[in-house]
C-alpha cells in the first residue's frame, strides 16, 4: 500500500488557521493522489481542549498508534513548523517503534532553505517604505533562534530598510526602537508576519487595538500588512517539495 502522509502543525485553531490548513490539505491531496493523509498537532493543551469538545484531532503519538493499528509500517511526516526549534525537536523525539518515518521540513531546515525563503520573501516586500518582518521566536533558548537570525541577515542584505524581529526572545530591543523611529519619520511602514497562520499572535500581538500591540506602538498612519506564510503559494510549494523528497526516501 502507498506510504501515508502525516502533516504536523503546532495547532492554531482560529477560523483563518483552519482555512489555511484545509487549503494546504487540499493541495497535498492533489499533489499525491491515492495516499492516506492524516494530521497531528504538537500543542497538547489545545488538542486536549478540542478532544473534550468531541473534535477528531490527535497528537503525533496518537496518529502513529492509529497508523500502526491500520497496518501501515511506513509514514512520511511533514512538519509545518518554520524552524528546527523546540517543537520540531519534540517531533523527532517521538517514539516511532513499529513505524519507519521519513521526515520532511521545517521551512528553514537548511542553509539552502534559508536562501530560498529569503529570495522569495524578499521579492514580495515593498520597496517604498520601512519593512518589519515579525517571527515568533523562542524566549529562552537562543539556539532555537539561529535560523531566524540567519534569515534576518540575508533579508537585510536584500532590503536595507528591513528589520526582522521576534515576538519572543528578541535580543535587539534598541534595533526595534530605532526602526520605529524611522517608520514614524517616514509616516509609513509595512509589517510582514513570518507565521504560518493568522492566529492570536496576528490578531492580538501584531494587529490588536490594545496599546501594547505592535501596530499601536508603531503609531504610523500608512500601515500595510502582508499575508501569513500559509497564504503564500511559494511557501506551500516549498513544503510540498520537501514532502515529495521524503516520500522518495520512504
Q: Which residues are catalytic?
A: 136
Residue 190 pairs with which residues in a beta bridge?
Answer: 131, 224
Q: What's the CA gap between 226 and 66, in Å, rounded?
A: 38
At CA 82, angle to CA 196 and CA 93, rounded to 5? 125
3-state secondary structure 217-237: HHCCCEEEECCCHHHCHHHHH
Is 24 strand, coil or helix?
Answer: helix
Segment (H or E) for 8 = strand 5-9
Q: What's the CA gap between 186 and 160, in Å, rounded?
A: 15
Q: What's the CA gap between 144 and 17, in Å, rounded?
A: 24
Amino acid at each position: 500500500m502507498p506510504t501515508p502522509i502525516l502533516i504536523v502543525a503546532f495547532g492554531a485553531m482560529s477560523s483563518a488557521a483552519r482555512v489555511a490548513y484545509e487549503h494546504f490539505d487540499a493541495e497535498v491531496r492533489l499533489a499525491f493522489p491515492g495516499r492516506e493523509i492524516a494530521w497531528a498537532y504538537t500543542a497538547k493543551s489545545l488538542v486536549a481542549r478540542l478532544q473534550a469538545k468531541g473534535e477528531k484531532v490527535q497528537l503525533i503519538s496518537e496518529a502513529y498508534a492509529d497508523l500502526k493499528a491500520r497496518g501501515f509500517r511506513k509514514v512520511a511526516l511533514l512538519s509545518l513548523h518554520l524552524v528546527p526549534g523546540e517543537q520540531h525537536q519534540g517531533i523527532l523525539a517521538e517514539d516511532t517503534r513499529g513505524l519507519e518515518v521519513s521526515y520532511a521540513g521545517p521551512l528553514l531546515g537548511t542553509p539552502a532553505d534559508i536562501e530560498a525563503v529569503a529570495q522569495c520573501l524578499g521579492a514580495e516586500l515593498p520597496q517604498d517604505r520601512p519593512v518589519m518582518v515579525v517571527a515568533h521566536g523562542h524566549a529562552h533558548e537562543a539556539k532555537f533562534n539561529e535560523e531566524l537570525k540567519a534569515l534576518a541577515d540575508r533579508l537585510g542584505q536584500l532590503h536595507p530598510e528591513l528589520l526582522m524581529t521576534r515576538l519572543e526572545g528578541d535580543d535587539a530591543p534598541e534595533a526595534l526602537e530605532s526602526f520605529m523611529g524611522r517608520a514614524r519619520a517616514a509616516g509609513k511602514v509595512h509589517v510582514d508576519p513570518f507565521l504560518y497562520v493568522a492566529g492570536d499572535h496576528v490578531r492580538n500581538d501584531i494587529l490588536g487595538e490594545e496599546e501594547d500591540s505592535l501596530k499601536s506602538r508603531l503609531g504610523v498612519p500608512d500601515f500595510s500588512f502582508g499575508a501569513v506564510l500559509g497564504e503564500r503559494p511559494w511557501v506551500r510549494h516549498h513544503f510540498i517539495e520537501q514532502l515529495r523528497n521524503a516520500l522518495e526516501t520512504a
